[in-house]
Structure 1
Amino acid sequence: MKINPFIFSFLLGSLNFIPIVKSSSFHPSQIPINAGASAKNPHSQFTDPKSKLVNLHQDLIFIESITGNEYEIGQYLYSYLSSRNFTVETQYVSSTKLLHDVDDIDDKPRLNIFAYKGAKRSTRLLITTHMDTVGPYIPYSRSSNGEGNEICGRGSTDAKGCMASQIMAVEELMAEKSIHEGDIGLLFVVGEETNGASMERASEIFQQDGLEFEAVIFGEPSEHKLVIGHKGALAYEIIAHGKDAHSSYPELRINAISILIKILTAIDEMKLPGSDKLGETTTSIGLIEGGVAMDVIPAKASATVLTRLAAGTPEEVIKRIEAIIANLGFDEGRVEVKFGHQFAPVDCDIDIDDMYVA
């Protein structure tokens, strides 16, 4: 795919717009640290040359949008873009209750936001990123090192820095009359940090409506490099079943945690193919659960694992995992594996002359 000069100039502008941000490390908890902090933005307007970008970025961070709780930021984006004369559509993905399966939770719709100028929905370029973040929520802050150029807060980089930069770049290009109706569409999705169903929903709607785009740019932290590939993924849960007993009667028990440790050790040492473009295939054991007390032999233990594929297919990895477990020789029924979200590596069809890509 050839990128014309219009899109090329947009790419450069968008990269230069990204503020200096520092995003906090991942934490598995989905409980906000300070749930009230996203209610309003108490800061005054900044006076630096890019204050419009900084203020938009700040507003987005002040809205807590942990996966499943994207309603408020979706409403903000709808209002913001509508007030700037974009045509704004919403794409229903799911309700909050469907995601959490909790009776007393507020049942608010989870919506993608699709915006464009005028009436032409099928634009030459679609730029997109996601509204949701991992937890816990961390409020906005700005460094006091004398320069104030380091911004912290959940989503400051991934992906609210991208979102603010994309919106502001489009606004600036439109103000300069460098782009017009039918040139650019904006798509902001929910649920990217979990299963990506919202992007699948957007693709489904676009296909149903016959919408086509010459190119798509995804906003993700990439050290300001243009990335033309994406690792695949395979998520799975390993469940070990044992037999509980008091620890003083070891002859009566089968320790589920011991079974799980042997499996995870083998999985952690599993060698899978990589690629020159995407690097190594990696496996991360993200969550382990099991046991009820120190002196009770656990009857059940589980672990959730994510393998990021630089080469090959999820089906090939599944066969490797099943073979590893079979070779460990556990009795039938002792080990259960549930395979979840999965997709193969993506090699983008793109050709950009005289520009460094990663």
Structure 2
Amino acid sequence: MGPFDDVEKLLIGYLQIDSTTGKEKEFADRVAVDLEHAGWHVQRQPLDNNPDRFNVLATTKPNASPRLILNTHFDTVPPFIGPTEKEDSIWGRGTNDAKGQMVVMMAAADQLRREDPSLADQIGLLFVVGEEVDHVGMTKANEFNVSPEYLIVGEPTEMKFASIQKGAMKVKLKARGVAGHSGYLTSGYSAVHILVNVLKDVLDYKWPESQKTGATTVNIGKIEGGQALNAWAEYAEAGLFFRVTTSIDDITQKLEAIVKGRVEVDVWNFNEPVLLDEPPIKTEMDPVSFNTDLPFWHGLEKLKGRYLFGCGSIKNAHSKDEHMPRNELKECPSVLIKLMKELLK
């Protein structure tokens, strides 16, 4: 039995370490030492502005150039929640996002090393900091001297391979009115009224949708405006979050056409959707509506294969109910091994 084969025990041990974003050091040290004790060659890559935060790249030999990289992240969202066990699941912060992904990748890689050393020489384990906040770890990881052909990112996808990582677009719609006494219709006009009408049109619009990519969706997450109940609102704004399946330009153009100049459109943060590859194994595929480190890998367009896959569900991640089904945790390494063998044969 290999050092990482008992994925349940390994995960429970890792869950006892607080690795909320910015506090990854203790957990990263533990993982690096575990890999070194198992015979892996480990490179630590500190961030430029904080050497206590570092990425880890593990390969079977020094100076290796892996054709395939397994990637996930050290950090979790706050607050820290230690592990508890139930008969069919393990609970706690990071069980599925993403310490569970890390342990199954370690188990799969190490089992492959024992079964087929020459194949394992072609893989690398890349674990990074900061994914949950600003992707600073993956951005830094581009400085590793590696150019893989295949990248497998571990996130909780319910044992399905993602067909697309939807893009993200954050928008402010800014409406301007003329202040005046609201008892008199001719004394001014309300920015709130303008904004409400625009938002209705945005919600009523049929945004792009396809079987492969799923639907572009929009959430009106925040509305602010007005200065008094008895005054026409001089200013109002709404914050919108689009999950994009086409392109940022496409959704921006459609939004501008809906707005028709009634409000100002301020696209203040975005990343494009990432279309993912169909794996060479029999499996289910499904679009995902969450962000990962994938867009921050500079060689993304040069890859032969881009995959997003993992055990557990994003639907309970980041919550007090975050948990990992034991059956998925134990099944996941075999799926990764099968995929790696097919890609590298």
TM-score normalized by structure 2?
A: 0.66
Match of 2:242 in 1: 307
Match of 2:280 among 313, 327, 352: 352
| Structure 1 contact 94–111 (Cα < 8 Å) conserved | no
Does 1:90 find its partner at 2:44? yes
| Partner Cα distance (1:170, 1:313) in 2 | 35
Q: Give the deviation of 1:73 after TM superposition.
A: 2.9
1:151: which partner in 2?
Answer: 90
Paired residues, what number?
279
Match of 2:331 in 1: none
Residue in 2 that maps onto 1:343: 272
Please state if 1:222 is matched with 2:136: no
Q: Which runs of 5+ in 1 are unaligned?
A: 1-49, 96-106
Deviation by residue 1:78-125 (Cα, 9 ceiling, x = unmatched)? 333233332222334564xxxxxxxxxxx6654322111221421132
Partner of 1:65: 19
2:168 pairs with 234, 244, 255, which one? 234
Which has more strand, going by share of residues?
Answer: 2
Judged with a 3 Å threshold, the aligned counterparts in structure 2 of structure 1 residues 198 and 51 are, in CA distance, closer, same or farther, namely closer
Which residue does 1:167 correspond to in 2? 106
- For the Cα contact (< 8 Å) 1:245–1:296, is it kept in 2? no
| Aligned-pair CA distance for 1:305 | 3.2
- Does 1:199 find its partner at 2:199? no
Preserved contact between residue 72 and residue 128 of structure 2 (Cα < 8 Å): yes
**Alpha carbons of 1:72 and 1:94: their partners in 2 closer, same or farther (altered >3 Å)?**
farther
Partner of 1:281: 216
Please state how far the C-alpha of 1:52 moved relative to its aligned partner. 3.2
**Alpha-carbon distance change, 241 to 282 in structure 1, aligned in 2, over 3 angstroms:** closer
**Residue identity opposite 1:172 in structure 2:** Q
Asked if the contact 2:217/2:243 (under 8 Å) is kept, the reply is yes
Q: 1:66–1:305: structure 2 CA closer, same or farther, 3 Å change rule?
A: farther
Is the deviation greater in 256-265 or in 133-142? 256-265
1:179 equivalent in alignment to 2:117: yes
- What CA distance in whole angstroms lies between the structure 2 residues aligned with 1:59 and 1:256? 55
Preserved contact between residue 7 and residue 104 of structure 2 (Cα < 8 Å): yes
Q: Distance in 1 between matches of 2:274 and 2:150?
A: 19
User: CA offsets per residue over residues 31-73 of structure 1, 9 Å max, x none?
Assistant: xxxxxxxxxxxxxxxxxxx983122212333333344443443
Q: Quick one: distance in 1 between partners of 2:181 and 2:75? A: 44
Q: CA deviation at 1:168?
A: 1.9
| CA–CA distance in structure 2, aligned partners of residues 72 and 253 of structure 1 | 60
> Match for 1:267: what amino acid?
V
- 1:277-299: per-residue Cα shift (whole Å, max 9, x none)? 222222233x4263699869776
Q: Is 2:71 the partner of 1:142?
A: no
Q: How does 1:239-258 map to 2 (within 5 A)?
A: 239-240=173-174, 258=193
Root-mean-square deviation (CA), in Å?
3.6
Q: Secondary structure of 1:205's partner?
A: coil
Q: Per-residue deviation at 1:315? A: 0.9
Whole-angstrom CA distance in 2 between matches of 1:108 and 1:253: 57
What SS does the corresponding residue of 1:321 show, helix, strand or coil?
Answer: helix
Give the 3 Å change call, closer, same or farther, for CA 161–292 of structure 1 in structure 2: farther
Confirm whether residue 114 of structure 1 aligns to residue 57 of structure 2. yes
Residue 58 of structure 1 aligns to a residue in which SS?
Answer: helix
Q: CA deviation at 1:128?
A: 1.0
Consecutive unaligned residues in structure 2, runs of 5 or more: 286-345
What residue is the counterpart of 1:27 in the other structure?
Answer: none
**Residues 70 and 240 of structure 1, relative CA distance in 2, 3 Å threshold:** farther
> Which residue type is aligned with residue 31 of structure 2?
L
Alignment of 1:8-27 (within 5 A): none
Which secondary structure does the structure 2 equivalent of 1:155 belong to?
coil
CA distance in 2, matches of 1:259, 1:71: 50
Aligned letter for 1:188?
F
Q: Distance in 1 between matches of 2:164 and 2:96?
A: 18
What is the deviation of 1:326?
A: 2.7
Alpha-carbon separation, structure 2, partners of 1:57 and 1:325 = 49
- The AA in structure 2 aligned to 1:132 is D
> Percent sequence identity over matched residues?
27
